[in-house]
Structure 1
Amino acid sequence: MHAMQYELTLPADYDTDVIRARVARIGHLLDDWKGLGFKAYLMRERGVNGSPVNQYAPFYLWNTMEGMNTFLWGGAFQGLSNDFGRPSVRQWTGLSYEEGGAAGSPGRWAVRRRQPVAEGLELAEVMVDAVAETERLAREDGAVCAAAAVDTARWELVHFSLWTHESPKAGGEVFEVLHVSAPGRGRLPRRRQW
């Protein structure tokens, strides 16, 4: 499993309905994408749920590197780059994935929490704790799914979770989910990835 996300931070006075219309128009194009576990089309609006910015920030979990590379180099990502400029694409190695009790429900809200892995910590313990946090999040009421991944270049953990309700029981940045494409969600490997 591989996690990926890019962020388009938009002007404070940006009409976020433009993003909603874009996702409504093209979101379905990844509904059958080979190698994709899921893509959550995410948006934050300035002043909503504590967001300081307007931002479009899709989050991906990939089953295969080929699927991800086809998305990035095969033309789909180029359309976004043509419209908004080419964003930096963050990537994390998957640590764990769990389905929540609301797995059959559509995700309406997402939470992303990034945290540094401090120097001097025992890496095995940090990663075991990250897996335990994924399991804890998945057990919470309204959880659709939860995942953890690590960026070893920056030594940063990311916890990502999808929720059915607006006040998710996870700390972090809250995003509205505009659409979810999940052709390979059922094939995402469960539990810890090592």
Structure 2
Amino acid sequence: MMAMQYSFVLPADYDMEIITRRIRDKGHLLNGFPHLRFKAYLFADRKDGDIGAQDNLYAPFYLWDAPEGADQFLTGPGFEAVSRDFGRPSVETWIGWHAELDRDLSQARYASREIRPIAPDCDLQALRARSAEGARNALKDNDAIACLTAFDPTSWNTLRFCLWQSPPERGSEDTQLYRVGYVALP
């Protein structure tokens, strides 16, 4: 399992309707994409009081069953179009630890992403177990629709990504909140 995200910071006066229209018109094109567990079309509008965004963002998030799906997407026409329209972004990737996807992901309206550094002396197996338990609890206790955890061994950080039907609490300073425009599914 592999998580992937790229993000575009858009100008403060950018018409975010362009992004929501793009999602509305093209979001369905990734339904059924090979090895895709889901793609959440995420955006943040600095005028949106529900999420308190600092910037206008377009930041799709992907969960892949296998890296071949990410390869096929990144070298294909969809990513070529995004790169042509916004510039080729840096793509963040994480190795998946645990995913709780028990509910209807199409009901997601919000997302949260938390990235935290891993201490050099951290027991990674214990951290993975705590992260998985946290993902399970997010569904059980906090009304998340989905929650996954992963890590990046290049920069040594963890990822916790959740989908929500209602606006979540921000949590820590490390948490970025988004609106979900569409969720593409297998």
Shared fold by TM > 0.5?
A: yes
Q: Which residue of 2 aligns with 1:29?
A: 29
**Letter aligned with residue 37 of structure 2:** G
Q: Which residue of 1 aligns with 2:122?
A: 121
Q: Supply the distance in 1 between the matched residues of 2:180 and 2:15 (Cα, whole angstroms).
A: 17
Post-superposition offset of 1:34:
1.3
Contact kept? 2:105, 2:183, Cα under 8 Å: no
Matched, 1:179 2:179: no
The 1:104/1:51 distance shift into structure 2, 3 A limit, reads closer
Q: Supply the distance in 1 between the matched residues of 2:66 and 2:125 (Cα, whole angstroms).
A: 25
Deviates more, 1:50-59 or 1:132-141: 132-141
Q: Which residue of 1 aligns with 2:55?
A: 53
Q: Which residue of 1 aligns with 2:82?
A: 80
SS of match in other structure, 1:13? coil
Q: Supply the distance in 1 between the matched residues of 2:124 and 2:148 (Cα, whole angstroms).
A: 18
**Letter aligned with residue 107 of structure 1:** A
Q: CA offsets per residue over residues 56-101 of structure 1, 9 Å max, x none?
A: 001000012221111001222100000000000000000001135x
Post-superposition offset of 1:105:
5.7
The 1:132/1:141 distance shift into structure 2, 3 A limit, reads closer
Q: Supply the distance in 1 between the matched residues of 2:78 and 2:106 (Cα, whole angstroms).
A: 27
Q: Which residue of 2 aligns with 1:164?
A: 165
Percentage of identical aligned residues? 37
Aligned residues: 182
SS of match in other structure, 1:139? helix
Post-superposition offset of 1:131:
1.1
**Letter aligned with residue 41 of structure 1:** Y
Q: Supply the distance in 2 between the matched residues of 1:103 and 1:147 (Cα, whole angstroms).
A: 15
Q: TM-score, normalised by structure 1?
A: 0.88
Contact kept? 2:170, 2:177, Cα under 8 Å: no
Residue ranges of structure 2 left out of the alignment (5+ in a row): none
Matches within 5 A, 1:128-139: 128-139=129-140
Contact kept? 1:107, 1:162, Cα under 8 Å: yes
Q: Which runs of 4+ in 1 moved over 6 A?
A: none
